[in-house]
């Protein structure tokens, strides 16, 4: 390993997978070159990793045999120190022998780098994804335009229904008693803090922190629901405590709900869906109390808590006011072609039908405040989003939308909190004289330390939800779907023949070409010249490591039968669908963003493969050969393209019922069918075979 401080320069790691070498450069967290050959057999092995700075590409060889390659990410550790056999800063020794370590200024594999030249340059791929993102993510909301005002009541209901469905709350979980339990309390500075839990999903507990005035006035009082974001220690962080304590000191009740993080992609279970249900059950709890006024219940949260606030604004009529802090923005502000935001933001299919400002608009005309800052993704909200919402509220006869835009970083600081106190105080007081308080001073309060809170946490730890249990609960009540199109509304799954753009002359050994799909993104592939004659079928090969990996290997395509192997008369086509091969540098971003956009990566890959198969010259049938996880892609592609006459895989891996988060991610697939049924229902005339793994 070579490392400078916390910056890893490069390393060879043994143990990522049993017996296999992994080369990991400065982008090691997202790009790893894993050997296919095991090196734990007691023999000496020659490990080589040549690197080409011009293309930023590295290749891993074991005993002179190609293993894998990848474009590396950005960044280096310029002052890296080399350590042989052990990690730096941690005792992680290498159990074996090292000999003849060399760092060379040149490589003996220049010919390989020549073959690695991509069909599409990195810039062309990046630009295509950027253009796609700009097309599918709007920067304005047509439904909020003045000329669409008459249609808003109907659109409002459609947005609410879509949000609830994307969260997995249609139909909602079974109603069960709250069964509220108290687990201890602390008192300080005029507030009483109570640790409590209640039933969220049937048979599962939600947890939170109830803040009350130490000496409450008689009668019913206002209440504020306070979902928290990703603060260290969650709802116990001093920033979260500060606003909750202030609400109690102002004579109100506050309930901070502990966030839960759980995901089972293939069933549709997502973190913010679970958190939204826990918040809705928390509203049930507040409204069931005889000291809470059901007409005066508000919600506020920042960052991830602001996101939860947004979903409640779209779903809940029981709230009288809302303050959403440092999360209001169009989704294009937090999704990029080469990066993804927090996993909590990736609600399945949400962005295929709506965006954040429109979700917030569902709350109109009730009082609302939006907090934004210059130092995060909300920096543009005062110009993009807020004007639309203010006009929308005005058309509906609501009060003026309040806002605060701070020249500061991502936070829910005291100045932001004080404008929220003023909003809620005005709303709870029922002020109708038009007077607006700009701020209310935050009362003095010394936050409870983590040592003080430890006994309450020990009495009831933060809620946790098991993904497998949640998957069973979701699938037990959620409706099945009739087609894959319902699970991928961001994709046009109607496959048709498209024109091939050839990049090489017809006599090239591997002729490179692209087919541009309906979304405007070119799909790269290579056609082998030695196999372009005769009447045999096309053999289309999909390898998760990329078309170049299949091209460089000397062994025949894994899982292929003799008649499918290169050199047997078949026309061999090596294709790189998203997210494989040339698209691998963008996988980590689009794997997550694709969930939100209704473009799950498994469905996207299948569509790309099906589009290439449908567009190959002539009318010869296609035999589709897939390796590893791409076997799933091949089966899905055969459901989309009738030209595919045969599918050969080297094993499909675990079912999605056994591992809902396996790759390729196929959001909500289990609402349609799992792998055995997908194979059993392949179109008539499409053969299927599975070889040894």
Q: What is the mean pLDDT of residues 132-148?
A: 95
Q: Using one digit for the tens of pLDDT, what is the confidence trace for 283-337?
A: 999 999 999 999 999 999 999 999 999 999 999 999 999 999 999 999 999 998 8
Give the confidence band of 180 by pLDDT, cuts at 50, 70, 90. very high
Taking the C-alpha atoms of residue 643 and residue 610, their distance in angstroms, rounded to an integer, is 9
d(CA 104, CA 112): 17
Residue 277 backbone class (left: φ over 0; alpha: ψ -120 to 50; beta: rest): alpha
Taking only the tens place, the pLDDT of each residue in 53-83 is 888 889 999 999 999 998 887 766 667 777 7
Answer whether 212's CB lies under 8 Å from 242's CB.
Answer: no
pLDDT digits 0-9 by tens, 351-405:
999 999 999 999 999 999 999 999 999 999 999 999 999 999 999 999 999 999 9
Residue 28 pLDDT greater than 60, yes or no = yes
pTM of the shown model: 0.92
With 60 as the cut, is the pLDDT of residue 118 above it?
A: yes
For the ranges 77-91, 501-515, 661-675, the lowest mean pLDDT is seen at 77-91
C-alpha atoms less than 13 angstroms from C-alpha of 644 in its C-beta half-sphere: 30
Q: Burial-class residue 485 by CB neighbours within 10 Å (0-12, 13-18, 19+).
A: middle
pLDDT at 374: 98
Closest to 360 in 3D by CA, of 330, 404, 318, 340: 330
pLDDT-derived band at 10, boundaries 50, 70, 90: confident
More confident residue, 81 or 453: 453
Alpha helices, DSSP H, located in 521-659: 547-552, 587-597, 601-615, 630-640
Residue 568, pLDDT > 60, answer no
pLDDT at 580 over 90: yes
Confidence tier at 6 by pLDDT (50, 70, 90): low
pLDDT (average), residues 603-625: 97
């Amino acid at each position: 390993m070579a490392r400078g401080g916390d910056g890893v320069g490069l390393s060879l790691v043994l143990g990522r997978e049993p017996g296999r070498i992994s080369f990991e450069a400065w982008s090691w967290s997202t790009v790893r070159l894993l050997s296919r050959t095991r090196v734990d057999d007691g023999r000496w092995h020659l490990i080589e990793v040549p690197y080409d700075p011009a293309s930023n590409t590295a290749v891993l060889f074991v005993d002179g045999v190609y293993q894998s390659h990848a474009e590396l990410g950005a960044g280096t550790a310029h002052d890296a120190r080399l350590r042989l056999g052990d990690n730096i800063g941690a005792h992680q020794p290498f159990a074996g022998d090292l000999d003849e370590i060399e760092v060379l200024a040149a490589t003996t594999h220049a010919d390989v780098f020549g073959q690695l030249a991509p069909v599409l340059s990195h810039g062309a791929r990046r630009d295509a994804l950027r253009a796609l993102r700009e097309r599918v993510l709007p920067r304005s909301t047509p439904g909020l335009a003045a000329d669409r005002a008459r249609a808003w009541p109907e659109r409002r209901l459609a947005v609410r229904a879509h949000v609830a469905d994307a969260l997995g709350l249609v139909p909602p979980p079974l109603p069960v008693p709250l069964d509220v339990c108290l687990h201890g309390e602390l008192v300080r500075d005029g507030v009483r803090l109570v640790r409590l839990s209640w039933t969220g999903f049937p048979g599962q507990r939600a947890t939170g922190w109830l803040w009350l005035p130490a000496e409450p006035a008689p009668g019913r009082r206002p209440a504020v629901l306070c979902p928290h974001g990703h603060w260290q220690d969650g709802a116990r962080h001093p920033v979260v405590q500060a606003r909750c304590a202030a609400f109690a000191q102002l004579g109100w009740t506050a309930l901070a709900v502990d966030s839960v993080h759980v995901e089972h992609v293939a069933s549709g279970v997502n973190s913010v869906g679970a958190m939204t249900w826990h918040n809705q059950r928390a509203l049930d709890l507040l409204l069931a109390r005889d000291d809470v006024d059901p007409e005066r219940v508000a919600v506020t949260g920042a960052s991830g808590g602001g996101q939860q606030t947004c979903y409640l604004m779209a779903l809940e009529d029981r709230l009288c006011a809302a303050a959403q802090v440092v999360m209001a923005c169009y989704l294009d502000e937090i999704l990029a072609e080469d990066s993804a935001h927090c996993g909590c933001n990736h609600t399945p299919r949400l962005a295929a039908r709506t965006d954040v400002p429109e979700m917030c608009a569902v709350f109109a005309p009730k009082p609302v405040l939006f907090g934004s800052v210059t130092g995060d993704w909300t920096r543009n909200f005062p110009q993009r989003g807020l004007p639309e919402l203010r006009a929308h509220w005005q058309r509906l006869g609501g009060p003026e939308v309040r806002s605060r835009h701070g020249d500061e970083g991502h936070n829910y600081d005291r100045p932001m909190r004080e404008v929220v106190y003023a909003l809620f105080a005005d709303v709870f007081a029922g002020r109708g004289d038009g007077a607006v308080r700009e701020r209310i001073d935050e009362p003095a309060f010394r936050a409870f330390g983590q040592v003080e809170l430890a006994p309450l946490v020990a009495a009831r730890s933060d809620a946790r939800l098991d993904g497998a249990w949640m998957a069973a609960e979701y699938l037990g009540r959620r409706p099945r779907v009739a087609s894959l199109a319902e699970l991928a509304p961001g994709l046009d799954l109607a496959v048709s023949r498209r024109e091939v753009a050839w990049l090489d002359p017809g006599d090239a050994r591997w002729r490179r070409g692209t087919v541009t799909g309906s979304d405007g993104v070119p799909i790269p592939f290579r056609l082998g010249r030695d196999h372009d004659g005769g009447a045999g079928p096309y053999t289309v090969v999909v390898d998760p490591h990329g078309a170049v990996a299949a091209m460089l290997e000397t062994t025949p395509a894994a899982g292929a039968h003799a008649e499918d192997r290169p050199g047997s008369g078949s026309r061999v086509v090596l294709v790189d669908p998203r997210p494989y091969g040339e698209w691998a540098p963008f996988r980590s971003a689009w794997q997550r963003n694709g969930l939100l956009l209704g473009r799950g990566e498994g469905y996207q890959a299948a569509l790309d493969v099906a589009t290439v198969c449908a567009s190959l010259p002539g009318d010869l049938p296609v035999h589709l050969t897939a390796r590893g996880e791409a076997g799933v892609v091949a089966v899905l592609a055969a459901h989309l393209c009738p030209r595919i006459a045969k599918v050969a895989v080297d094993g499909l891996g675990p079912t999605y019922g056994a591992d809902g988060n396996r790759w390729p991610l196929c959001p909500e697939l289990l609402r349609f069918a799992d792998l055995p049924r997908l194979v059993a229902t392949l179109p008539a005339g499409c053969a299927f075979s599975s070889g040894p793994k």
